[in-house]
Structure 1
């Protein structure tokens, strides 16, 4: 019994079976574009709007001086307050590792992730389901950046064609699941899928 002898149960016993308010899904944004299209800068601005600092999940591997310089420039552009996690292959584990930071997350980029997977003899298409499951379990806003590689000529070798096709399929799977897709051209964002 509750206060003043009243029952703690509702007058309508079925009231407990009613669903509560729907859970709000945090934003999921996929940003696509060509090389030097402004996609990373755009994604960073969007993530900052969700809250700063943020967590940056990097898929790049520094195999040469040019790539090391590019990575250093991106870190400098973001600023020291961003947490950086490196995940060339295991994005689901990196997402789980990012959750305790409690900050919006930026994954950059899926194209390098797909390349890393192919070089490790893993099919990027097979890794999308675990990534989607990790995104569904993540209570934080997440932006994902990727290069659109399917707008050019057909590559002249089998590995390059395999890469192009795999990235295209990864993009299609993600685009159906995320709440928003934006395509960058010459630094200008074009909404492909409005926020859901």
Structure 2
């Protein structure tokens, strides 16, 4: 059962919790444990705490694969082992910027990997275009790169949800042809 779902939303919109619940339901349907592909890296105590909270909330039935850069390969390596939750694309973009990777090419490769999966994939990303224009060039570049990545991945996914105050709003599929 292949299925690809992208969950986007603002900070603290509930997108990760929504994605975890969807992934857990998919795991129950196919009777395989969920796999969490983590792009976050704990560079400081605050990030360590955030990661620990996410792990605690998910519980021991989840298997975690830490992969800050090569997420397409992580999907290929875990295909067939259960539904995967890749959290999050926004941190992945940040990681790629830090390592001076070719972001659009990497996003297109990830999109291709998503379309070839046999097991479900749920992805989380931040909606970055709803605020004010950042005041510095690096922040504007990040916003632009993340926005482009979101568009590429949303196009590859079968379903797209926007998280608002802990509730998912279905965006794709819809009946409007673009």
Fold-level match, TM-score > 0.5? yes
**Quick one: which of 49, 54, 59 aligns to 1:79?**
59
Which structure has more relative contact order (CA 8 Å, sep 6+)? It is 2
Residue aligned with 2:92, SS: helix
Cα-Cα RMSD? 1.5
Superimposed CA distance per residue, residues 31-57 of structure 1 (whole angstroms, 9 cap, x where no aligned partner)? 000111000000011111111520000
Does structure 2 conserve the Cα–Cα contact (< 8 Å) formed by 1:179 and 1:195? no
Larger radius of gyration: 1
Deviation for aligned residue 1:195 = 7.8
8 Å contact 1:150–1:168 — kept in the other structure? yes
Residues 137-191 of structure 1: CA deviation (Å, up to 9, x unaligned): 2210000000111110101111110110011111111111210000011112111
CA contact (8 A) 2:6 2:154 kept: yes
2:17 aligned with 1:41: yes
List runs of 5+ in structure 1 lacking aligned partners: 1-24
- TM score, norm. by length of structure 2: 0.91
Aligned residues: 171
TM-score with structure 1 setting the length: 0.83
Instruction: Answer yes or no: is 1:60 the counterpart of 2:54.
Output: no
Contact 2:90 2:126 in 1 (8 A): yes
Q: Is the 8 A contact 2:42 2:51 kept in 1?
A: yes
Q: Which residue is 1:10 aligned to?
A: none
Q: Give distance in 2, aligned partners of 1:191 and 1:136.
A: 20
Structure 2 regions of 5+ residues with no counterpart? none
Q: Give 1:137's match in structure 2, choosing from 116, 130, 144.
A: 116
Specify the SS of the correspondent of 2:79.
helix
Misfit runs of 4+, over 4 Å? none
Please list the CA deviations of residues 36-79 of structure 1 after superposition, one character each: whole Å capped at 9, or x if unmatched. Answer: 10000000111111115200000000010010011011111111
Equivalent position SS for 1:51: helix
Is 2:153 aligned against 1:190? no
Contact 2:9 2:164 in 1 (8 A): yes
Equivalent residue for 1:30? 6
1:171 aligns with 2:150: yes
